[in-house]
Amino acid sequence: MAGMVNNPEYSYDLVSVDERLNMLRECERRWMNLDWVWEATLAMPTNTSDPSYAHGGAMYLNIEDPNQNIIGLLSTRLPSKATEDIKWTEISLGKTILMSMLAIEEHDLLVCLTSCAQ
């Protein structure tokens, strides 16, 4: 089966199918030749560790307290155009996070393992 499914986050009224196909071909050509149109430097928020995950055009960082305990996560979509702004979203559970895992493609799911005293 072949076909095309429109991305629901994009306004297709502005761009014809032919234009989108040409954009896709140009993008694929540039990837094959590593011919970048633009590049960006991301300012990393303070009190974060190295990127925890980079997946599906997004980046997730651990937020650390002064004792280097993970107390939250930050996420952002990576820009697809040079003019896009980076906006960080904080995920905080109010307790130390022992581990976090993503299942973005399968379930759009973020799982955080925490511990608490009984």
User: 10-63 pLDDT, tens per residue?
Assistant: 666 777 888 888 888 988 998 899 888 788 777 777 777 765 666 667 787 888
What DSSP letter does each residue of the chain carry, written as one string?
A: -------TTS-TTSS-HHHHHHHHHHHHHHHHHT--S----PPPPTTEEEEEEEETTEEEEEEE-TT--EEEEEEEEPPSSTTPPP--EEEE-SS-EEEEEEEHHHHSEEEEEE----
Report domain extents, the chain: 48-114
What would the pLDDT profile of 50-86 be if each residue is shown by its tens digit?
656 666 677 878 888 888 888 888 888 877 777 888 8
* pTM (predicted TM-score): 0.58
